[in-house]
Structure 1
């Protein structure tokens, strides 16, 4: 199957939206590793530990496991761990076995996302976490969510780097004929692990997603500029404006509507991927009705992708040996991303990220 690739372990991956991590234990699986997440009571920082007690492998994220201050208490036999994963209490014993500990993972909280490093802890540099500053910037309003897709993560990367599918899969929401009909430009920075795909549409139909939220009527100029920071972060810089409206020479663009669409693509395991999504806007920031409209409609679009990729994964699983894909020009970004992901998995190289 062309999309079932090995995981690049020495990388940062999003494990949760920041608001999901609190004083209740949260279970996630990243790159096949079961994790338990919570916030320390003392300083509020996120903690990520291996989600299996050393005693009988009971999940620390499952009830009745619980937090006791900064410690997590296994709900099966009461083994208790501190934020480093060290077991500090075993019921009925004065001394805790020296080997009683679970792995703790490097964590970085940036831009309202909680990132975790599954590989060699010595290589975990928080400065290499790719940034999406609009997610918690005061100049933007964001709606967000997460869906689990029963498909390999490469299928979601392909999906997001080729937006021509909007015309067909998302018609009535974000798709119009111009998306599939407009050529793309693709730039690849192999060393940084970044793929850029751009599609600028002039005199295009305004899709319902933008017509109903911005109030723009008639034809529009629509820009879609993608940055994919392998392996996890996808940024779509979207610009919508009435046809003929261009940015000012100084870079100002007050008559346009700017939307930042963010996806964090985190493999849970082979054949399963977390699709963390967010839509941020710099217009009508006080309008709660528009906020709810964008939340509902983008969630609908995401669920359309979920259904399509679940179906595609099942179809690929039924293919006979020797199946060959047919790729065309619109696949340039996805094919470049595949090459980078394969290299990261094989070599263990870490791209610089856009953290600076």
Structure 2
């Protein structure tokens, strides 16, 4: 069984996914049911198994009675803390009739959940993605489950050279694979930064159709991965020769924030939450639809590739040896950090602030 970093925050859902309908998600091999309270709208996260016969509480005909959760099998009823408040056929409620409740924080359009030791759950440790809830940015988003170890998705996102080959015709151009990267690692904070600055590159359809740029571009990709869950790609696009001003402002470029929340579901199943935020064409519905559909296609190309990769790895002999090169520097650093977090089990370091998106500088 995969060793997960349990004493960490993970994205369980987008805020708009959680309402008065019961939502079931499996996080770190733990089934969890989510819903909102009736009056305050706060998110509740409880173990998704009835203490009686292990019936999934997120499954029909389970239901809410006010803020209480009623098991659809025998009627065991639980309050928001997980304590059983009713059992059928008797007045005495067994002392062991309770299910786990999990700390939850709603932040930057995400619902974050803590599966580890409750006394270590510090909301200040959650990394930020402020553009996700900032009206100055227009965001499209989605979620796709992938049948692979979540470390494979981390590898995929930290090495964007695969865009040239897997995503050609969408976001990939030859320059992405040809341009060397620079990598910075903060082991203590659990942050990996990988940068690729292309000063003269072809403009892929993803950007030419959304920005209207014709011809060659300056394209910067600055990755900021906050282990274990949050991935931010700060993307800058401008015609060749257009650079930020001396004072650091950058009004003549187009900026895109690509956000991924990488949440392990089970040993070989991962939730891939993705979002694309932009600081241009805010009211252009055609651009919004194009970026959503185009990025969804790109995500599904990753899904297909990673599903196939996991199947291939499952068939490999135990003696297989990986070959890593310079482009793998960021992914290898992330692996070290994730292994340390999984083995340590201690209190996580406070979250470092995310880089401020260019549009707000």
Q: TM-score scaled to structure 1, two decimals?
A: 0.98
Instruction: Number of aligned residue pairs: give it.
Output: 353
Does 2:319 align with 1:322? yes
Deviation digits for residues 135-164 of structure 1 (CA, Å, limit 9, x no counterpart): 010110110000000000000000000000
The structure 2 residue matched to 1:73, chosen from 65, 70, 75, is 70
Deviation at 1:226, TM superposition (A): 0.2
Aligned: 1:31 with 2:28: yes
Hey, what's the Cα distance between the residues in 2 that align with 1:216 and 1:255? 12
In the other structure, the counterpart of 1:278 is 275
Deviation of residue 355 (structure 1)? 5.5
* 1:13-44 deviation digits (Å, cap 9, x = unpaired): 00001100001000000000000000111211
Divergent runs of 4+, >6 A: none
For residues 203 and 66 of structure 1, what CA distance do their matches in structure 2 show?
57
Distance across 1 between alignment mates of 2:251 and 2:267: 45
Query: Aligned partners of 2:98, 2:353: CA distance in 1, in Å?
Result: 32
Matched, 1:266 2:250: no
1:342 aligns with 2:342: no
Would you say 1:143 and 2:130 are equivalent positions?
A: no
Contact 1:14 1:115 in 2 (8 A): yes
Distance in 1, matches of 2:105 and 2:41, equals 13
Q: Distance in 2 between matches of 1:74 and 1:46?
A: 19
* TM-score (normalised: structure 2): 0.96
Q: Which string of whole-angstrom CA distances, capped at 9 and with x for unpartnered residues, describes residues 146-190 of structure 1?
A: 000000000000000000000000000000000000000000000
Give, in angstroms, the shift of residue 249 of structure 1: 1.6
| Structure 1 unaligned regions, length at least 5 | none
Q: CA deviation at 1:68?
A: 1.1
2:350 to 340, 348, 352: 352
- Preserved contact between residue 84 and residue 104 of structure 1 (Cα < 8 Å): yes
2:49 match: secondary structure: coil
What is the CA–CA distance in structure 1 between the aligned matches of 2:353 and 2:247, rounded to whole Å? 26
The residue aligned with 1:174 is 171
CA RMSD across the alignment: 1.0
Unaligned runs of 5+ in 2: 355-361
SS in 1 for 2:39: coil
Secondary structure at 2:318's aligned position in 1? coil
